[in-house]
Amino acid sequence: MDRMKAAFLDYDGTFAAPSGVPPEHVEAVHAAQSAGHRVFLCTGRPRPLITDALVSLFDGVIGLAGGYIELDGRVLTDTVFSPELAATTVSVLDEHGVHYTLEASDGLYASAPGLDALRAIGGLVGPTFSDFPIILRTLRVSDMTPPPPFGKVVCWQAPMATRDLAGRIGPDVTGLPSSLPWHDGHAGEIFLAAVTKAVGMRTVTERLGLTLADAVAVGDGHNDIEMLQEAGTAVAIAGAPAALLAHADHVVPGPERAGIVAAFELAGLFDRA
């Protein structure tokens, strides 16, 4: 086998379709691992929205778009907003009448009105997004005074684009459109500006004694851009935003057509012996 590589896979829209994970993708992960490579989930989701069965498939998990890192069953990083920044974030969101959830490694939090709004959204997207019931079951109600510790915000029904909303909060955060099917033009996510999936990828490769040239990144969304920029082999899903496609070495089909299999073949992750 050639030098070991580490593959980093986005989840929603890359590894999983809205209806679930195709069995071909599970088989591809096993095949790459059998060939001596390491495979990691690299998602914007918080740990509570990643099942233990899914975690057991991978060699580790990067969650919260780089803020949470779990390697070989041990948590390496769990980054949260400072109390001051958290309070400012919630204040701005409330001032603009935004519905939102706060995502953390121990759960998801929403205000009581936010939970009601999310249930209404769930009635619309539930048939096409199989994990929506998991989101609703995981949510905890908080009065947000003070906000609980969190590492990312998901917001919807905002009066402006998420990037503009993040600008109202300050330079320590950034906003991106959501990759989930909210059916809402102003749905998005707010992150710490210094935290990206590339940060998580870099941390893991260093722990493994690898370089970023040994990294294979596969993604389909705006929060995958930094990851594809830094990986030795960058793979985008067909139909991804132009800003992501611009950094791709290869473009493969989505999960409905088992695109991870094609991505792994192109990256040389299968044992040809």
**130 vs 167: CA distance, rounded Å:** 32
Q: Is the pLDDT of residue 272 over 60?
A: no
Q: What CATH code is assigned to 83-192?
A: 3.30.1240.10
Q: How many CB atoms lie within 10 A of CB 133?
A: 11
The superfamily in CATH containing domain 6-78+195-267 is HAD superfamily/HAD-like (3.40.50.1000)
- Whether residue 235 contacts residue 251, with contact meaning beta carbons closer than 8 Å, is answered with yes
Write out pLDDT tens, residues 23-79: 999 999 999 999 999 999 999 999 999 989 999 999 999 999 999 999 988 999 999
Residue 53 has what pLDDT? Answer: 92
What are the start and end residues of each CATH 3.30.1240.10 domain in the chain?
Answer: 83-192
Dihedral pair phi/psi, residue 215, rounded to 5°: -90, 140
**199 vs 41: CA distance, rounded Å:** 14
CA angle 126, 132, 138 (to 5 degrees): 150
Write out pLDDT tens, residues 101-147: 999 998 899 888 877 777 776 554 444 455 666 777 788 888 899 99
Continuous segment of H or E residues that includes residue 194: none
Residue 186 has what pLDDT? Answer: 73
pLDDT, mean over the chain: 90
Write out pLDDT tens, residues 10-38: 999 999 998 889 999 999 999 999 999 99
Mean pLDDT, range 172-188, rounded to an integer: 75
* Closest-CA residue to 243 (of 194, 176, 173): 176
Q: Which residues contact 95 (CB under 8 A, 6 or more apart)?
A: none
H-only helix segments in the chain = 23-34, 52-57, 83-95, 112-125, 132-138, 162-169, 197-207, 225-230, 242-245, 259-267
What are the start and end residues of each CATH 3.40.50.1000 domain in the chain?
Answer: 6-78+195-267
53 by Cβ neighbours in 10 Å (0-12 / 13-18 / 19+) ranks as exposed
SS3 call for 23: helix
Residue 139 has what pLDDT? Answer: 82
What's the pTM? Answer: 0.90
Residue 181 has what pLDDT? Answer: 54
